[in-house]
Amino acid sequence: EEKKEKKDKKEEDELSEEDKALQEQMELLVTRCSDPEPELRKAALNSMISEIRTSTSSMTSVPKPLKFLRTHYAPLKEVHAAASDSETKTLLADVLSVLAMTKSEQGKHESLDYRLLGSQDDVGSWGHEYVRHLAAEIGEEYNERLAA
């Protein structure tokens, strides 16, 4: 755990100007997700979705937007739980579903859970790695239910 924190800190120091700008943008979008103004929340979520979709189209490593959002996974889950606006909840569920792929605990099926709460848009638009991950979670859930 401590080694990982040192590695993260080292990586943070080595970010290019472009990466630092993206990281700051992602942090601002996370902050705006809990804004009381619905239009600001929606705009922030749509920007976040756009960044993630663009970066996950050909995933060979963890895309930078997801990498920068990982530390905000728990706060975003709290924002989702507290959200009363259905559109905010749906868009945030889409983001959390993709983010859960990199952050959730094994066996929790959070990508699948949030996918089911999210929009019913084409899952392929999030990239093949996401679809593969979702398929694995569906298989795990199926096997768990058979065993129960």
Q: What is the pLDDT of residue 64?
A: 87
**According to DSSP H, which parts of the chain are helical?**
2-13, 17-32, 38-56, 64-69, 73-82, 86-103, 110-117, 128-147
Cα dihedral 143, 145, 146, 148 sign = positive
Q: How far apart are CA 128 and CA 108, in angstroms?
A: 21
pLDDT at 1 over 60: no
Q: How many residues in total does the chain contain?
A: 148
- Paired tokens of 116: 């089911």
Asked whether 111 and 117 are in contact (CB, 8 A), the reply is: no
Percentage, residues of the chain above pLDDT 90? 57
Q: Give the pLDDT of residue 85.
A: 87
For the entire predicted model, the pTM comes to 0.81
Complete DSSP assignment for 4-34 = HHHHHHHHHHT--HHHHHHHHHHHHHHHHTT
Q: Please indicate whether residue 70 or residue 13 has the higher confidence score (pLDDT).
A: 70
pLDDT in tens, 22-65: 999 999 999 999 899 999 999 999 999 999 888 866 555 678 89
Give the tens place of pLDDT for each residue, 103-123: 878 889 999 999 999 998 889
